[in-house]
Amino acid sequence: EPEVTQTPSHQVTQMGQEVILRCVPISNHLYFYWYRQILGQKVEFLVSFYNNEISEKSEIFDDQFSVERPDGSNFTLKIRSTKLEDSAMYFCASKVGLKSYNSPLHFGNGTRLTVT
Amino acid sequence: AQSVTQPDIHITVSEGASLELRCNYSYGATPYLFWYVQSPGQGLQLLLKYFSGDTLVQGIKGFEAEFKRSQSSFNLRKPSVHWSDAAEYFCAVGHNAGGTSYGKLTFGQGTILTVHP
């Protein structure tokens, strides 16, 4: 069964550094998402992306965050200047576009970001 | 605003015993409801979903859930738990405003399931 793949599985960075989290969604999917889960807290929606633009973003997704689909397969989340509170597990997810309401959201295994 | 409450943070059951994980939601329209499972080091795997129709839905791994509109609940059940079911379980409500909103999920806090041999 096709999978959403995320790299790296664990990223350690220093405060103030830029990080890029990478995702390869399922190939025929058109809707893309990032979620995050701070340790001990709920999984939270960050952003949705379709047709090369952001569809919706949460309050968490401020100017420090950006997303991009640089080619036909990758979907990236960039954090420009990381803060300690950005430490979390980041999940990428994708979904087919057409008749989307009853198609499942497929999640990757996540990237654990640790900011020191 | 929509929300999901999972009242039980941690549940312990014996292998072979029945299981029920509780989920209550708050959503202004007809909800799309999901249960996901997360094993350590793994991503979120969809167990089952409810969109419409039969309020008792069957999922993978022998799980089922029942949508009760009057109680705003979507409890997950399994008649006989296996040791491999030990994991964290998340209930979620999906948005139905069209387009990418169908993939915008609001999650509960999660329930950790421990299975004793």
Give tens-digit pLDDT for B66-95: 999 999 999 999 999 999 999 999 999 988
Q: Per residue in A85-114, pLDDT tens?
A: 999 999 999 998 766 677 888 999 999 999
Distance from CA of A48 to the nearest CA of B (A): 7
Give Cα separations from B22 to A40, A101, B19, B62, B74 (angstroms).
Answer: 19, 24, 10, 17, 7
Task: Say what the pLDDT of residue A99 is.
Answer: 65
From chain A, pick out residues whose CB is under 8 angstroms from the CB of B101.
48, 55-56
Neighbours of A103 (CB within 10 A): 16
Per-residue pLDDT, averaged over A76-88, amounts to 97
Strand partners, A13: A115
CB–CB contact B105 A105 (8 Å): yes
CA nearest neighbour of B55 among B70, B39, B43, B38: B70
Question: Please, how many CA atoms are within 13 Å of residue B13, restricted to the half-sphere of its CB?
Answer: 23
